[in-house]
Structure 1
Amino acid sequence: MVLSAVAAASFAAIPVLAAAEPVHLGVSIPAATHSFMGGINYWANQAKKDLEKEHKDLKITIKTAANAPEQANQLQDLSTVSKINALVIFPFESAALTKPVAQVKAKGTYVTVVDRGLTDTSAQDAYVAGDNTAFGKIPAEYIAKKLGGKGNVVALRGIPTTLDNERMDAFNSVLKNYPDIKLLDAKYANWNRDDAFKVTQDYLTRFKDIDAIWAADDDMAVGVLKAIEQAKRNDIKVIFGGAGAKGMVKTIIDGKDKRIDADVSYSPKFIYDAIKLTAEARLKGEKLPATTIIPSVLITKENAKDFYHPDSPF
């Protein structure tokens, strides 16, 4: 009896491992102001639906913002009113959201930043993004191969960001290996169809011989196609967009436009991946690696069906 009492006392002194703490995950994303962000919103809500069904100790609250100040205010609400203990944020702007995110993290909230990095990485626990180097490298390699290492190319960039710089630097690094390919110009078109239409009009006016156009976003590629059609130009052999929009992927599957037979993946589905990775790690009381890069790969007719999501806005 004495031994039993001692044993009981000993076991009582050992803390019982409690079940993982319930996770209330806040998701802060830009509003669906264009098709890629429409995709971000779609996949965020799909993650909420799937993960809350799978995990009874998980609650996900999604907030969408039309601008950086609104997103900053929503972060405060998520922290003080909703009392989240984990956050996945796709910042509207990097600099403007760094301090508001840092304030949320200071309250003990686990923070995963997606795609657009903050200006101070100490404000985050983890970073999840697509592979922007591959996003620039893959189109350059494909265009060079299609042109047989010789020709004139123009490029349409996104907005002036580190993300866009990574893509353009990678594109240029490949073209350096092809001295007979000339990059005639590379202008910002802001990941916007109308801006891409105007930039392409300028290119078509200034350059009488263009073999390939890299529109570093499938939305911009739509504007490029419209400008080419209006100008009745038939010299352009290759149009390469980016991110795997469903319309572009369907074009590749159907093979209806010989100028468009490849793309590079950078799906808004990475918000789903970021939410899932963060939620499941926190449910286990674990942390994510400091950086997780979602691979960007070449999309061709052979694998296009794997990247075709007809229910997504993007």
Structure 2
Amino acid sequence: MKRFHVGKWATVVLAGMLMLAGCGGGGSAGGGNTSSGQGSGSTPAPAAAEKVIGMSFPAADHGWLGAVIKNAEDEAKAEGLKYVITTAADPNKQTNDIEDLISKKVSAIVMLPIESAAMTPVAKKVKDAGIPLIVVDRELESDDFTALVKGDNKGIGSHAGAYLVDKLGGKGKIVEIIGVPSSVTTMRSDGFREAIKDHPDMQVIVSQSGDFQKEKSLNVMQNILQSQPQIDAVYTHDDEMALGVLQAIKEAKRTDIRVVTGAGGHKDVYKLIKDGDPLMQATFTYSPLMVKDAVKLAADIVNGKTPAEKVTMLEATPITKDNIDKFYDPNANY
């Protein structure tokens, strides 16, 4: 894809723009941040001839989301377009952010919805305003978007189910730690259950939300360990949740649990797999680099190109000790 030099649009990052923290989901209460390639203070509406991409993300209180925001900004700079980034910690704030971008008449909007249902109505407003909308990661409950870039969430669940069937010999008690209310969570659960449905001795005994947060998942798993005397495996929807689960299991000194799986491609989980951790044996790719594809699409659209496909889905590759060396990068953003 053709790249543009940034020279014409020098970006100035607002002080305190993005606080990339290590854990969290995007469903907690609180405020958000706004960053612009135009300078400090409030962002004025762009002039008619300017090509400005608005980008709206959940607050970066989760490592994966932090990497998404960093990758999005890097790609926007590489494409040579001015940009505005907003972050929000709840759907109301994100809706307000999108409405503000509409009022500023940005050339395109890239959005990662905090929650699928809650962010669907504002997508209609974007469409009615004639602004191209590129959705990344979590889907909407309508087709009011120009393009969608996502990972194979159902594939993650299917791969995890097949993996645990094989590891447990088709029989076992499984705990599922799920994410926030979104298409991601729904599809990862559906894929998993479809994969184990022909194995009646594979039982999901608990399914509880960890909100894509390490600390929340640690606390949730501590309670589950107290209430469940026998657990054979834990299927988590996210690598950072898996790290919290692992900490809880190891602190409780439980020896009945044979395997934990994750999703997302966190380098700390990759390191555990590479080092032969007895519990953390598999995860599935769901790279925060996917946002770069979304920003590239936005750049193409504002430069007059039509996306070849409305939906782009990236493969969910199983990562185990057999192929970890192809994926592990200790210097990765995530």
Change in 2 beyond 3 A, CA 1:279/1:261: same
Matched, 1:286 2:314: no
CA contact (8 A) 2:107 2:302 kept: no
Q: Which runs of 5+ in 2 are unaligned?
A: 1-48
Q: Which residue of 2 aligns with 1:27?
A: 55
Q: TM-score, normalised by structure 1?
A: 0.82
Deviation at 1:145, TM superposition (A): 1.1
- Is the CA contact 2:99–2:122 (under 8 Å) kept in the aligned structure 1? yes
Flag structure 1 segments of 5+ consecutive residues without an equivalent. Answer: 1-20, 53-57
Contact 1:43 1:271 in 2 (8 A): yes
Match of 2:95 among 72, 91, 104: 72
- CA apart distance, 1:26: 1.9
CA distance in 1, matches of 2:323, 2:79: 27
Partner SS, residue 25 of structure 1: strand
Residue 199 (structure 1) shift: 2.6
Native 8 Å contact 1:39 1:312 kept in 2: no
2:84 corresponds in structure 1 to 61
Match of residue 155 from structure 2? 134
Identity across aligned pairs (percent)?
Answer: 36
Q: 2:319 maps to what in 1? A: 299
Indicate conservation of the 8 Å contact 1:277/1:288, yes or no: no
Compare 181-190 and 125-134 and name the one that shifted more: 181-190
| Alignment check: 8 A CA contact 2:115 2:182 kept | no
Paired position in structure 2 for 1:206: 227
Task: Supply the RMSD in Å over aligned alpha carbons.
Answer: 2.3
C-alpha spacing 1:201/1:109, structure 2 compared with 1 (3 Å): same
Shift in Å at residue 279 of structure 1?
1.9
Compare CA radii of gyration and give the structure with the larger one: 1
Segment of structure 1 superposing worse, 221-230 or 286-295? 286-295
Say if 1:153 and 1:100 are closer, same or farther in 2 by CA, change over 3 A.
closer
Q: Aligned-pair distance for 1:219?
A: 1.3
1:304/1:194 Cα in 2 relative to 1: closer, same or farther (>3 Å)?
same
Are the equivalent residues in 2 in contact too, given 1:126–1:288 (CA < 8 A)? no
Q: 1:96 to 1:187 in 2, by over 3 A?
A: closer
TM-score where L is the length of structure 2? 0.77
- Kindly state the Cα deviation for residue 23 of structure 1 after the two structures are TM-superposed: 4.3
User: Match of 1:191, SS?
Assistant: coil
Give the structure with the higher percent helix: 1
**Structure 2 counterpart of 1:205, one-letter code:** Q
Aligned to 1:108: 130
1:129-159 Cα offsets, whole Å, 9 max, x none, are 1111101011111111112223222211113
> 1:238 matched to which residue of 2?
259
Change in Cα spacing, 1:133 to 1:23, as seen in structure 2 (3 Å) is: same
Question: 1:42-57 to 2 correspondence within 5 Å?
Answer: 42-52=70-80
SS in 2 for 1:252: helix
* Equivalent residue, structure 1, for 2:282: 262
